[in-house]
A and B are shown apart, each in its own frame.
Chain A
Amino acid sequence: MRALRRLLGFLTLVGIAFAGVVVYRRRFMARKERVDLYYDDDSLVSYEEGSDGAGTLLPLSHDVLRAARS
């Protein structure tokens, strides 16, 4: 009986840790950086991390963030 309780406790801990990893991955790992450009004709161009446009604009955006917080 005692061994079964220990096993259940262990499995509960493993389950909680697994759920924590899943939540963490969804919250932080899946997020991608992007730049959205809005034009006067109501069109929108979105550059996601890894695209050519983002390759230029994301580093410039990081510079702005750094400069504003320095």
Chain B
Amino acid sequence: MDAAQALSELTEISSQIEAACLLDGDGGLLASTLPNEGAAGRFAAAAGALLRGARAARTAGAPLVQLEAAALDGSVFLVLEGDRAVVAVTKPEPTVGLVFYDLKSCLRAAAVAGDGDGKPRPKARKRDKSASESAA
């Protein structure tokens, strides 16, 4: 699975995520769910700036692995793993644990893109927020 496919699966399984992009360690754009190249570039540039700002908030100690910024009109999520980061934008008051879980799964799916075994993998099932909450 390539990065773009991992992102498209992410927005397919999570109804809470409006847009997402995959960045390299320096904040460079690898893939985005935005169809327009210019918009994807602006999204990645803003996400990269947030990544750098968050890293600068604490220079010593353990490295940053996750971020959630809760604004009144929506939330921004950032998950770092290895030399990649995924950034997603959601509606206000999302189910935080579910979004982080989906973003980590997306990063792992994108990370195995280079394994090159060519074997098809099962598609993730679509999950509805209300169904997940009623099951809990």
Binding site for B on A (CB under 8 A): 28, 31, 33-41, 43, 45, 47, 53, 56-58, 60-70
B103 to chain A, nearest CB (A): 12
Choose among A41, A47, A63, A64 the residue that contacts B61 (Cβ–Cβ < 8 A). A41
B68-95 vs A, CB cutoff 8 Å, 1 = contact: the mask equals 1111111010000000000101000000
Query: At the interface, yes or no: B18 with Cβ under 8 Å from chain A?
Result: yes
CB neighbours (8 Å) of B68 from chain A are 35-36, 38
Q: B39 touches which one: A36, A38, A53, A67 (CB < 8 A)?
A: A67
Q: Which residues of B contact A33 (CB under 8 A)?
A: 69-72
Query: How many positions in chain B have a CB within 8 Å of any CB in the partner chain?
Result: 32
**Residue interface mask B2-32, A partner, CB < 8 A = 1:** 0000000000000000110000000000000
